[in-house]
């Protein structure tokens, strides 16, 4: 009989998504340019299905793949973002894909590419996208999915994507775990919600990754303070993270950080983290978030600073050379107890994390206004509660904040979060002050604090800035005592320096 889904691109993510679909009862026709990848997927299926009938069927061409599918065809693709997505689309057009067929892009595509693709392929097939978060394990056992595009396409494919999504216990908001092949999780709320028009799902996934960058960098700065400032061993730091994982900071990223810190290098017997070269890689999504935040004018300094931190890390040779020239402070001891520093650090991480999420959500909200998307922020927080990389207990509080007030302009002013920061901020400030005194770089912590202090300032020094602009460029300024919209200018070069109304 015919297959339900054609699957193209069987890399780590693709293979696991295909196996997840197979677990949920879908028959897959699979193709990859690299035939070894097809073979690996078939082998894995054989291993996992045991005596059950075959679930994944190999194809050697796009035409064969389409011929194995029931009509209308559904093809899911998992290939690198950019050119490869269009290559596959063109190959499928050549192979005879039809107007009523659906192609679903699951990669980390740039959202503007997605918008263009929907237009470009109109009438040839239905181009739909489902951004996927959760890495290999999420793809295999339940990911967080951010679908967007043609609504009709979504109604057709929603059941299979809801089936492979991570599930949340509706009572507690906590993930329902699945780690074994077979036995899909059928109960619970699926982490897959239609996000909106073409591009919006990839935009939301992009911001998810921006937040991911900030969250990771904050954890790394906390690690650095303990490692450099307190001379703790990686295993001791892992213990602190495990402790933190029991409370407000509970999250997948804290949990895996502890595991990385506990890992011993099998070759040298050293803590692995000491052997890993301190040059961070990146594939683009964090950078895109930072660029978009600048374009939209949605201040996201903690996210942006996390991208800069990766860039700075790659200047390894410069840093090594500079470390021999540039002096830091003489303070290497603050006379604080280790326990004191660690508990301050906990609060600093928590407050900074709230700011990073506040930035990400405000960015989405401002971008949505600009692009005419009707984003449901409670819904977005909900699908990030399980399956994705930033999954955390914390997302439940964000869900509740937006359920209470769907128009909330910034998470910081939600009563719960406002109260949390009010309670924890003194330790946050101490952490930033102490780390600065010791010369430990804390770009993410300090940018979050400056963001918080700016956001809660009724008056900022932009008044002087407007004066400067008017002085050298006649850029004009508004007055606090006159109706808005009216602009004024000082004739700076004249002796009288008259102030004139411009419009």
49 is in an annotated binding site: no
What are the residues whose beta carbons fall under 8 Å from the beta carbon of 49, sequence distance 6 or more? 22, 55
Strand partners, 134: none
> 128-165: b or e for each residue (b if 16 or more CB lie within 10 Å)?
bbbbbbbbeebbbbbbbbbbbbbeebbebbeebbbbbb
Asked if residue 314 binds ligand 6PG (CB under 6 A), the reply is: no
Tokens for 167, please give them: 């599930």
**Which C-beta is closer to ligand 6PG: that of 143 or that of 449?**
143
**Which C-beta is closer to ligand 6PG: that of 293 or that of 434?**
293
Nearest-approach distance from CB 138 to ligand 6PG, in angstroms:
6
Asked if residue 148 binds ligand 6PG (CB under 6 A), the reply is: no
429 is in an annotated binding site: no
Question: Of 348, 352, 350, 354, nearest to 305 (Cα)?
Answer: 352
Asked if residue 282 binds ligand 6PG (CB under 6 A), the reply is: yes
Nearest-approach distance from CB 286 to ligand 6PG, in angstroms:
6
Binding residues for ligand 6PG, how many (CB under 6 A)? Answer: 13
391: left (phi over 0), alpha (psi -120 to 50) or beta: beta
Nearest-approach distance from CB 132 to ligand 6PG, in angstroms:
7
Asked if residue 389 binds ligand 6PG (CB under 6 A), the reply is: yes
469 is in an annotated binding site: yes
Asked if residue 134 binds ligand 6PG (CB under 6 A), the reply is: yes
Q: Is 212 labeled as catalytic in the residue annotation?
A: yes
108 is in an annotated binding site: yes
- Please, which of residues 155-174 interact with ligand 6PG by CB under 6 A? none
In angstroms, rounded to a whole number, what is the distance separating the alpha carbons of residues 417 and 409? 13
Asked if residue 133 binds ligand 6PG (CB under 6 A), the reply is: yes
Whether 310 and 286 have beta carbons less than 8 Å apart is answered as yes
Asked if residue 130 binds ligand 6PG (CB under 6 A), the reply is: no
Asked if residue 108 binds ligand 6PG (CB under 6 A), the reply is: yes
Q: Which of 185, 388, 408, 438 binds ligand 6PG (CB under 6 A)?
A: 388
Question: Of 68, 66, 64, nearest to 54 (Cα)?
Answer: 68
Asked if residue 300 binds ligand 6PG (CB under 6 A), the reply is: no
Q: Which of 135, 184, 439, 441 binds ligand 6PG (CB under 6 A)?
A: 135
133 is in an annotated binding site: yes
Asked if residue 215 binds ligand 6PG (CB under 6 A), the reply is: no
Cα distance from N-terminal residue to C-terminal residue, the chain: 74
Site string for ligand 6PG, 237-276 (x = CB under 6 A): ----------------------------------------
Sign of CA dihedral 373, 376, 381, 387: negative
Asked if residue 456 binds ligand 6PG (CB under 6 A), the reply is: no
135 is in an annotated binding site: yes
Residue of closest CB approach to ligand 6PG = 133
Question: Of 459, 453, 467, nearest to 425 (Cα)?
Answer: 453
DSSP state letters, 328-378: --S-------HHHHHHHHHHHHHHHHHHHHHHHHHHHHHHHHHHT----HH
Tokens for 478, please give them: 């508004």
User: Which residue spans within 187-255 are E strands per DSSP?
Assistant: 189-190
Which residue in 15, 27, 37, 205 is the catalytic one? 205
In angstroms, rounded to a whole number, what is the distance separating the alpha carbons of residues 346 and 248? 9
Choices 39-47, 131-139, 370-378, 449-457; region in contact with ligand 6PG by CB under 6 A: 131-139
In angstroms, rounded to a whole number, what is the distance separating the alpha carbons of residues 105 and 17? 12
Tokens for 296, please give them: 């939209």
Residues assigned a catalytic role: 205, 212
Could you tell me which residues are annotated as the binding site for substrate?
A: 108, 133-135, 208-209, 213, 283, 310, 469, 475
Residues at the site binding ligand 6PG, with contacts judged by CB under 6 A: 108, 133-135, 209, 212, 281-283, 285-286, 388-389
Could you tell me which residues are annotated as the binding site?
A: 108, 133-135, 208-209, 213, 283, 310, 469, 475
């Amino acid at each position: 009989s015919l297959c339900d889904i054609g699957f193209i691109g069987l890399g780590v993510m693709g293979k696991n998504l295909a196996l997840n679909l197979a677990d949920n009862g879908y028959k897959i026709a699979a193709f990859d340019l690299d035939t070894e990848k097809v073979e690996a997927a078939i082998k894995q299926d054989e291993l996992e299905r045991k005596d059950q009938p075959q679930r994944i069927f190999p194809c050697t061409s796009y035409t064969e793949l389409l011929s194995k599918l029931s009509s209308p065809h559904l093809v899911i693709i998992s290939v690198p973002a950019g050119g490869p997505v269009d290559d596959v689309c063109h190959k499928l057009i050549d192979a005879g894909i039809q107007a009523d067929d659906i192609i679903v892009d699951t990669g980390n595509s740039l959202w503007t590419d997605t918008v263009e693709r929907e237009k470009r392929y109109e009438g040839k097939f239905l181009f739909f996208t489902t951004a996927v978060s959760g890495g290999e394990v999420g793809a295999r056992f339940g990911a967080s999915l951010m679908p967007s595009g043609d609504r009709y396409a979504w109604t057709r494919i929603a059941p299979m994507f809801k089936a492979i999504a991570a599930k949340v216990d509706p009572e507690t908001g906590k993930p329902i775990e699945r780690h074994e092949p077979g036995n899909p999780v059928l109960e619970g709320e699926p982490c897959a919600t239609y996000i909106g028009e073409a591009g919006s799902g990839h935009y939301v996934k992009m911001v998810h990754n921006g937040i991911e960058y900030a969250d990771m960098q904050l954890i790394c700065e906390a690690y650095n303070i303990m490692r450099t400032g307190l001379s703790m061993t990686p295993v001791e730091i892992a213990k602190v993270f495990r402790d933190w994982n029991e409370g407000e900071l509970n999250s997948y990223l804290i949990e895996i950080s502890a595991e990385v810190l506990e890992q011993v290098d099998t070759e040298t017997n050293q803590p692995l983290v000491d052997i890993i070269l301190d040059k961070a890689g990146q594939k683009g999504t964090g950078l895109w978030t930072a660029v978009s935040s600048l374009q939209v004018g949605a201040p996201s300094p903690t996210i942006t600073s996390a991208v800069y931190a990766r860039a700075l890390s790659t200047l390894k040779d410069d840093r090594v050379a500079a470390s021999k020239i540039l002096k830091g402070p003489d303070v290497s001891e603050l006379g604080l107890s280790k326990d004191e520093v660690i508990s301050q650090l906990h609060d600093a991480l928590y407050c900074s994390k709230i700011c990073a999420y506040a930035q990400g959500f405000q960015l989405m909200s401002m971008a949505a206004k600009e692009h005419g998307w009707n984003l449901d922020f409670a819904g977005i927080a909900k699908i990030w509660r399980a399956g994705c990389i930033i999954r955390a207990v914390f997302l439940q509080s964000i869900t509740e904040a937006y359920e209470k007030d769907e128009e909330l302009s910034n998470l910081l002013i939600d009563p719960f979060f406002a109260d949390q920061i009010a309670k924890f901020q003194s330790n946050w400030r101490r952490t930033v002050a102490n780390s600065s005194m010791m010369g430990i770089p804390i770009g993410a912590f300090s940018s979050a604090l400056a963001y918080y202090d700016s956001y809660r300032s009724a008056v900022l020094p932009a008044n002087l800035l407007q004066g400067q602009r008017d002085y050298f460029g006649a850029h004009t300024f508004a007055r606090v005592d006159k109706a808005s919209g009216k602009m004024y200018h000082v004739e700076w070069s004249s002796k009288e320096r008259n102030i004139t109304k411009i419009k």
